[in-house]
Amino acid sequence: MKIFSGSNYQKLTSEIITELQFFGHQIEIGKLKIEKFSDGEILPLFLESVRDCEVFFINSTDSSESIMETILVIDAAKRAGCKSFTLVAPFQGYSRQDKTDHLRSSIGSKALAVTLQAVGLSRLITIDLHASSIQGFYEIPVIHLNGTKIFIDPIRSMNLDNLCIVAPDQGAVKRASEFCKAFPEATFAMINKKRIKPNEIHSMELVGEVTGKNVIIVDDITDTGKTLSKAADLLLEYNAQSVYSVATHGVLSGSAVDILNNSKITKVLVSDSLSSTQIKDNLISNLEVVSSAKLLAKSISAISERKSINEINLI
């Protein structure tokens, strides 16, 4: 087994390797150089042999550049004779494009799956796909990890009483319900949200009771922060004591920095699945970035030891 890092994931890769060493694996970061021509063209070079090796590559596919980098690294490894190639993508891009919502639109997640498999991807490890049905686009094993596990210990350490777990829309109900299992004393509520187009909400209404509760909003993605901020306002209007948020992927695009800084949310917890999140961590006062290294290391360890990964996802 050899582990290599994408251009922006050296920190997370180092943390994963530290966890793997704790689990008894003697391993170091593999030597991979990502060169760029002056026009931005990417050229990956393995500086050590990967022949007959199980290669693990840590890199989220959140941008056109990172996707192209991943494709070329897979191609280089396969040409160098690797035994298998596992992409460890904490955030798998285009997962919000899992179906055609509009006439003559693409299915981005399907196109990405086809492309990665065409160049030789053997296995995908990822956290909280926006739609779990995306696994069906792959003809290879997909290890779909439950990202909410990352936030259980941080929430417990806050020692909050009168907890209420809230799903911010219908699509988040299953995820929020799973998170509820870690807090048996917590109640549950949801927000019925109507959109008129992406990132623009028409109306929101609360289903459930939050009076006097410390509320935890559970979702997979925090993007512009508009939904989160409006949800917090709604919950506080219904006399919630405080509002916290956990979301696996901190996309934090557009005006998210200003929106979250001016929101009434006590704390926004996201994982380090996106390298750009680390930059925003210094700009958003109520943001906390939680490491996904242990969760990812457990899955890599289980695969390398030919063990079941089912228990990794259990709460």
* Active site members: 193
Residue 116 dihedral angles phi and psi, to the nearest 5°: -65, -40
Compute CA distances 277 → 80, 133, 160, 183, 220, whole Å. 33, 26, 26, 27, 14
- Sign of the CA dihedral with 71 first, then 112, 151, and 299 last: negative
Q: Residue with structure tokens 């008894």?
A: 24
Please name the residue that has the structure tokens 């704390």. Answer: 267
Which tokens is 282 given?
Answer: 């210094």
CB 267 within 8 A of CB 289: no
142, 167, 308 from 126: Cα distances, Å: 8, 22, 16
Three-state DSSP class for residue 296: helix
